[in-house]
Structure 1
Amino acid sequence: MPHLPFVFLKAQWRKLIMANYELPPKMLASYLPAGTQPDLFEGRAYMSLVGFLFERTKILGIPAPFHQHFEEFNLRFYATNQLGAERKRAVVFQSEMVPKPLIPLVANTLFNERYFYRPMRHRNHVVGDRLEVAYEWKHNQQWEGMRVQAENRLRDIPEGSLEEFITEHYWGYAGHSPQKTWEYAVEHPRWQSYPVLDFELNADLPALYGKKLGQLLQQPPASVYLLEGSEARIRWRQPLPVQEAVLA
C-alpha cells in the first residue's frame, strides 16, 4: 500500500445541489491543470454549479474556530490523468464562493484554489413529502441563488449513470503553475440522492464567471441532483506526475 498523506480537513458535506451543464471537451483546454485531460461521460464533458453546507469542520483534527458551519457555492469540472494502469478521476474547481473571509486566504495559499468571499445564506425546509433547499449570495446589494424542490425520500444512485459520474470523483486537481499541478485525495462513502422535482437559478453568472462561461451556464442544465452527502475527508496535497495532456 502506498503511503497516504495526512488528513488535512474533515467535515460534513450536506444537502448538495448539483446543476450540470454539457460543453464541448475542447472548451476546457484553457482551464485544465498541467498533465490532465477532460474526464468524459459517454464522450461528453460537463461543468457543475454546486451549492452545499459545510458542517462540523475540523482542520488537522481540531474544530475550526468560527468556521465549523458555512455555505459554499462552486463551479467545477471533471478531469483525469493516467500513468500506467492507474487512472485518477478528479474535480477541478474553477471558482469557489464562501461567506468566511479567512477561507480564501488559507485555501488559495495552501491549495492554489480559487476561493472568494460573499455574504451567503441557505434554506432547508420540509413541507409534507417535499424538501426545498436553496443557497443564496449577495451580489451588488441583491440576493441571488439557486433552489431545488425534491421528493423527501432518499434513493440509491444508479450504477453507470450520469449521476454516478458526477458524484463519484475522489481526487482534486489544482494548477500550481503551467508546469505543475497539485493533487489531493477526497474521501467519502457513496452518496444517496433525492428525486428532484423543480430547479430555479437566479444569478448574474457572467458577472461571476465571465461572458464565455456565464453564457454557457445560462442555458438549461442537462441534469440537476440533490444529494444528502456525508462526512468527507481531504488529504494533504502532493505533486501530480505530469504527462502530456491529450484532449478527447
Structure 2
Amino acid sequence: MMGSVRVEDVTAETVRPVRRPVLVQRWSDLAFLHWAIDPALVAPLLPAGTVPDTLDGVTYVGLIGFRMVGLGFLRGPGVPYLGTFCETNVRLYSVDHQGRRAVVFLSLEAERLLPVLTARVSLRLPYMWSRMRMTRSGDVLNYTSRRRWPSPRPATSRMTIQVGEPVATPSALEHFVTARWGLHTHAWGRSLHLPNEHPRWPLHQADLLDLDDTLVAAAGLPAPLRAPDSVLYSPGVPVTFGAPDVLRGEGTHQAPR
C-alpha cells in the first residue's frame, strides 16, 4: 500500500470495466521477454505522477512481440488492412497516486505508417514505423523488426521462441508483467492514464531460442547482456481501451512491495 491508497491487485480474477470505449483490438501470438532492472534506472523515464512498480525490490523491462489484429474505433469492427499489423514494444511498469498499476511504453515498433502517425499525434505515444515480420512453424515463432522512422536508427530486433506447456497457476512475476489494466503516458503537457479491459491472459511457458536486439538500448536502457528472467507466450486476448484521464498530482510516493 501507498499510505491510504489501495494498489490494484495484479492477481485479481476480474478487472475494472471500461466505461467509455475508445478503441477495440486483439493482441495475438505474444512473446513476453523480461529482465529485472534497478528502479532507479527507469524512474527518470516515467511520466510525472508515477513511480516504478516493483516486485521484491526490483522492476522489469519488457520486450514484447505480437500481432495487432482488428484495430477499430469505439466498439465497431476493425479497420481493414490498416487495423492488423505486427508490433514490438519496449515497456516499463508503473504505479500512480491512485494505486493504478500500468505500463509505460518507451517505444512501439509497428509496420503500418498511418496508425503510427495517428498515435504519435493524438497521444504522443512513441510509435515507430518499422519493417516487421512474424512467422510460425509449429510451436516455434519468429519476430523481426527494423526501424524505418524516426531516429535513432538502426534499431532492430530478432527473437525466436518455442512455445511450451500452459501455465496453470501464474507465479508472482508472471502476474506482475502481464496483468496490467492500463497505460501511463505524457501528452500535451499532462500525465495521462488510459484504462483497458481484457480477460486474464492464457499463458504458456516458452524457451528463447534466439535474440538479437537493439530496441532496448535505443530506448535509453542498458542493452540486455544475459538471458531474460522470464519468457512467456500467449495466444492472445481481445482488448478494449477507454478514454484517458489526467493523473491527479505529480508529487512522489513510495512504490508498493
Bucket of the pairwise TM-score, normalised by the shorter protein? 0.7 to 0.9
Change (3 A) 1:207 1:26: closer
Match of 1:176 among 187, 197, 212: 187
Query: Equivalents in 2 of 1:72, 1:26: separation in Å?
Result: 28
C-alpha contact 1:99 1:117 (8 A) present in aligned 2: yes
Q: Equivalent residue of 2:97, what SS? A: strand
Change (3 A) 1:171 1:105: same
Note the C-alpha offset of 1:247: 5.8
C-alpha contact 2:155 2:215 (8 A) present in aligned 1: no
What are the equivalent positions in structure 2 for 1:26-41 lying under 5 Å apart? 26-41=40-55
Query: Equivalents in 1 of 2:174, 2:83: separation in Å?
Result: 28
Aligned to 1:8: 22
Question: Segments of 4+ in structure 1 off by > 6 A?
Answer: 140-143
Aligned to 1:234: 241
Note the C-alpha offset of 1:63: 2.5
Change (3 A) 1:105 1:5: farther
Q: What is the CA deviation profile of residues 106-140 of structure 1, one whole-angstrom value per residue up to 9, with x for unaligned ones? A: 111222210010111101221xxxx1112111358
Q: Equivalent residue of 1:119, what SS? A: strand
Q: Does 1:96 align with 2:108?
A: yes
Match of 1:149 among 133, 141, 162: 162
Q: What is the CA deviation profile of residues 66-122 of structure 1, one whole-angstrom value per residue up to 9, with x for unaligned ones? A: 212211100000000133xxx210000000000011112111122221001011110
C-alpha contact 2:25 2:69 (8 A) present in aligned 1: yes
Relative to structure 2, which stretch is displaced further, 199-208 or 53-62?
199-208
Query: Equivalents in 1 of 2:35, 2:154: separation in Å?
Result: 28
Aligned to 1:192: 202
Query: Equivalents in 2 of 1:3, 1:233: separation in Å?
Result: 9
Q: What is the CA deviation profile of residues 194-219 of structure 1, one whole-angstrom value per residue up to 9, with x for unaligned ones? A: 22133321133476334xx1x33243
Query: Equivalents in 2 of 1:77, 1:157: separation in Å?
Result: 23
Change (3 A) 1:190 1:206: closer
Note the C-alpha offset of 1:177: 5.8
Change (3 A) 1:223 1:141: closer
C-alpha contact 1:15 1:229 (8 A) present in aligned 2: yes
More strand by share: 1
Query: Equivalents in 1 of 2:155, 2:188: separation in Å?
Result: 35
5+ residue gaps, structure 1, are none
* Percent of paired sites with the same residue: 26
Aligned to 2:38: 24
C-alpha contact 1:157 1:163 (8 A) present in aligned 2: no
Aligned to 1:204: 214
Query: Equivalents in 2 of 1:36, 1:186: separation in Å?
Result: 18
Structure 1 vs Structure 2 CA RMSD: 2.4
Structure 1 counterpart of 2:30, which letter? Answer: L
C-alpha contact 1:111 1:237 (8 A) present in aligned 2: no
Aligned to 1:167: 178
With the length of structure 1 as denominator, give the TM-score of the two structures: 0.85
Aligned to 2:127: 115
C-alpha contact 1:92 1:174 (8 A) present in aligned 2: yes
Note the C-alpha offset of 1:15: 1.2
C-alpha contact 1:9 1:233 (8 A) present in aligned 2: yes
Q: Does 1:74 align with 2:89?
A: yes
* Paired positions, count: 234
Q: What is the CA deviation profile of residues 44-67 of structure 1, one whole-angstrom value per residue up to 9, with x for unaligned ones? A: 111100001111221222422321
Note the C-alpha offset of 1:230: 0.9
